[in-house]
Amino acid sequence: MSVTITDVAKAAGVSKATISRFFNDRGRLNKDTAAHIDKVIKTLHYIPSATARNLAKKQADIVGVLISQVRSAYWNEVYGAIHDYLSQNNQNMEVFSLNCDNAVLYYSKKSISDKIRLLAEQRVAGIILLLRKVGADDVDFIHDLEIPFVVVQSDCKDERVSCVNIDNRAANYGMTRYLLELGHKNIAYISGPVDAVFSHKRFEGYRTAMISEGVYVKSRVLYGDNGTADGYWRTKQILTWNPVPTAILYASDSMAFGGMQAIREAGLKIPEDISIAGFDGYREQIPLMDMLPPITTVIQPMKQIGEKAAEILMYKIRDKEKGKNKKYQFVLPTRFVDNGSCAAPKDL
């Protein structure tokens, strides 16, 4: 049952007018009183309505989308699939997105909860989380608000979490095994953001495969932000090593494209001098990216991931009593594609 302004006033020991003043003209309140009301509001998880219409309806025709990297080609493609699915299947639905991007790799948990609260103030019907990591505190907060939600590309261990994923670990393990079977032993790895669950899973796949052959070396692992510039600069760093690795595995196609540029500037040829491989399948799935150089990669089904996330959320919204406590887990298949950027090392 939703908490009302009357409940907040009673718990705080003040009038409803005082609670209203807290939201509309807080400067007129005593600082101690305002602090006390703020604490009660957070304890009760009270969400003031953004508009009278949404308050009356208890729920707006809006799906909230929290996205961590709006500049990411991957997240944009998933977001676009979500938007298209809702437009085609639910004409009254709109998508309201909030950017959780920061200039650094980390974003604070407080900022995420604040953005969830802002979505809740819009009386959203449901939320889709396109975040690097979804913590237990985030799940607790949304669950207490009784808002249906779905998580994409994050941990699904919590029994309350419905999610859409790929097996990042298995996919990157397979790619690493492919390079090993070509004869490569000195394989550098450029991982994605250190705070992203999918980055950890992909790294685990690489590490496990390398350990199985007794060739894992921690110093051959660098970290980037999944962007082209990071791929370029990390690759330039790798090319100064002695000996230079015979292969570089990138945690994203974007970084691999940047790496290609650095390798060519160094006067090296792909794959004759050095093999490279990526992850995502941008060239195969995103319009105009087919103009980019071909790269051996793992294709993850971006469109299907977004569609499935929207499909699950709509079921949970339409059948809230049945759907809100039911956990839906989907692990969609990936596909390996050999685009000719890998070959056996020259010394074989």
3-state class (DSSP) for residue 64:
strand
User: What are the distances in angstroms from CA 167 to CA 121, 164, 172, 335?
Assistant: 35, 10, 9, 11
The reported pLDDT for the residue numbered 104 is 37
Say yes or no to pLDDT of 58 above 60.
no
- Integer Cα distance of 128 and 312 in angstroms: 10
Query: Angle CA(64)–CA(69)–CA(72) in degrees, nearest 5?
Result: 120
* Better-predicted residue by pLDDT, 280 or 96: 280
The reported pLDDT for the residue numbered 309 is 95
* Better-predicted residue by pLDDT, 275 or 88: 275
Mean pLDDT of 312-327: 74
What residues does each domain of the chain span? Answer: 5-44, 53-166+302-333, 168-300
> Cβ contacts of residue 87 below 8 Å, gap of 6+?
93
User: What are the distances in angstroms from CA 234 to CA 112, 176, 192, 245?
Assistant: 30, 19, 12, 13
Say yes or no to pLDDT of 47 above 90.
no
Tell me which of 3.40.50.2300, 3.10.400.10, 2.60.40.10, 3.90.420.10 is the CATH number of domain 53-166+302-333: 3.40.50.2300
| Amino acid letter, 219 | S
Say yes or no to pLDDT of 150 above 80.
yes
pLDDT digit string (tens) for 249-273?
999 999 999 999 999 999 999 999 9
CB atoms within 10 A of CB 194: 14
Say yes or no to pLDDT of 85 above 80.
yes
Q: Strand locations in 139-294, DSSP E? A: 149-152, 162-166, 187-191, 221-223, 247-250, 275-277
Q: How high is the mean pLDDT of the chain?
A: 85
The reported pLDDT for the residue numbered 25 is 66
The reported pLDDT for the residue numbered 102 is 44
Q: For residues 21, 22, 26 and 31, what is the CA-based torsion angle, rounded to 10 degrees?
A: 120
**Most confident of the following: 41-55, 151-165, 189-203, 227-241:** 227-241
Residues β-bridged to residue 150: 128, 162
Please tell me if the domain spanning 53-166+302-333 has the same topology as the one spanning 168-300: yes
Kindly indicate the confidence band of residue 235, based on its pLDDT and cuts at 50, 70 and 90.
very high
Specify the range with the lowest mean pLDDT, choosing from 64-68, 226-230, 288-292: 288-292
pLDDT digit string (tens) for 110-127?
567 777 887 787 778 888
Mean pLDDT of 173-196: 95
The reported pLDDT for the residue numbered 320 is 65
For the CA atoms of the chain, what is the radius of gyration? 24
Kindly indicate the confidence band of residue 103, based on its pLDDT and cuts at 50, 70 and 90.
very low
Q: Which position has the token pair 């992850």?
A: 279
The reported pLDDT for the residue numbered 274 is 97
**Most confident of the following: 214-218, 226-230, 287-291:** 214-218
Mean pLDDT of 123-146: 82
CATH classification (class only), 168-300: alpha beta
The strand pair at 162-166 and 149-152 is best described as parallel
pLDDT digit string (tens) for 5-32?
888 989 999 888 788 778 766 777 888 8
